[in-house]
Amino acid sequence: MRLLDQIMLSPSEQNVLGRGGEHHLLPGTGSKSAILRDCGLRYIVNEEATQQCFELIRSDSGILDPANELLRLPAEYFWVEWLSENYAQSPDGHRLGALIEASPDGRSGMVTGFWQDYEGAPQVAMAVITFDLDYELFPPPGSRRILRLRHGVLPHLGPLFGHMLFHINPAWANYVRLEDPHGYDGRLRAQAEAGWFNVPFILVFAAMLNSEGILERRSADLVKLNSARVRRGRQPLLDHIEVSLSLGVGTRAGDDNLRVGGRIAPRLHHVRGHTVRRGSSIFWRSSHLRGNAERPILRKTVKVSAPPKTAGNGEHPTSTGPSFQYSPARL
């Protein structure tokens, strides 16, 4: 079952018993079910398109520059679901998803992350990420619940992270402080490391949606299946749009449509907006994606590590990818 349908079947609240016998009422995996059910766009991204998004995120091409005009979300409420990067090695591995609540102009919003754990059960993040591509964002001074992220291995993401804030849900923050006061920072760090990827992925996906001829979209036909489910007293599955790379007919390296000026066309990549001269005319060519999506996608595993930070500098040591700091200092 798809992650979005698992969420719809999940409770909106969970009652967790603390170590001292007290009960904590916390948001459940289904806490966003009403918004998910009513949102007009729900995208399910296949493996090839997912891998292309991963490659564009890793590339220092400028696609995730906050000023890039391709970074505009398609709707005020929408869902994106994709496969984990190690899905090919572990077919039973988890799916990832995010519910996006965006501004009308598609330039700011809030992202709630979800995933399937390794037993296939749906989970919701303890935090949401807010972003505004037109303004830098800073946490309140001294805040231990609203954080700013940075990445120690992919420095080209730094400008984007300056437009994002990581908000721990107040109920979860209180629960962790009571249950594990000494492990609070570690729990937050684990959530940040698990959730930072959602915003870059969603923005790159939006850039691909905004580029002609890159993605192919097909609405799922669930009429017969849902009719049968309703007859059996089961909840109907949610409609969604299946997204794949838009591939042409020819796929061999020698095909003409894979060549540009007698050479093999490059892989899909981002091109910044720039001026173009044609004779005596000068015009502006908008930012766009260029290249051939039929070229083999470079598949690789990136091991992320960083040396521990020295104590007393306001930062906490981290052994993987992103780290966060509490001060509102510009990164």
> pLDDT by residue (tens digit) across 233-249?
888 888 899 999 875 54
Q: Which two tokens stand for residue 148?
A: 């700013």
Q: How far apart are CA 95 and CA 93, in angstroms?
A: 7
Does pLDDT of 256 surpass 80?
A: no
Q: How far apart are CA 38 and CA 12, in angstroms?
A: 16
Residue with tokens 């916390």: 26
pLDDT digits 0-9 by tens, 32-49: 999 999 998 999 999 889
Q: Strand (E) positions, the chain?
A: 13-17, 23-27, 41-45, 77-83, 95-102, 108-116, 122-132, 146-151, 164-168, 215-219, 241-245, 259-260, 263-264, 269-271, 274-278, 281-285, 288-290, 322-325
Q: Which two tokens stand for residue 330?
A: 């510009």
Length of the chain: 331
In eight-state DSSP terms, residue 187 is H
What's the pLDDT at 78? Answer: 95
Q: What is the pTM of this model?
A: 0.76
Q: How far apart are CA 196 and CA 148, in angstroms?
A: 10
- Of 33-42, 147-156, 238-247, 316-325, the range with the lowest mean pLDDT is 316-325
The identity of residue 9, as a single letter, is L
Average pLDDT over residues 107-116: 95
Mean pLDDT taken over the chain = 78
Concatenating the DSSP letter of every residue in 11-28 gives: -SEEEEE-TTS-EEEEE-
Residue 116: which of 6, 28, 11 has the closest Cα?
Answer: 6
What's the pLDDT at 134? Answer: 96
85 CB contacts (<8 Å, ≥6 apart)?
50, 51, 54, 301
Does pLDDT of 65 surpass 60?
A: yes
Strand pairing report for 322-325 and 146-151: antiparallel
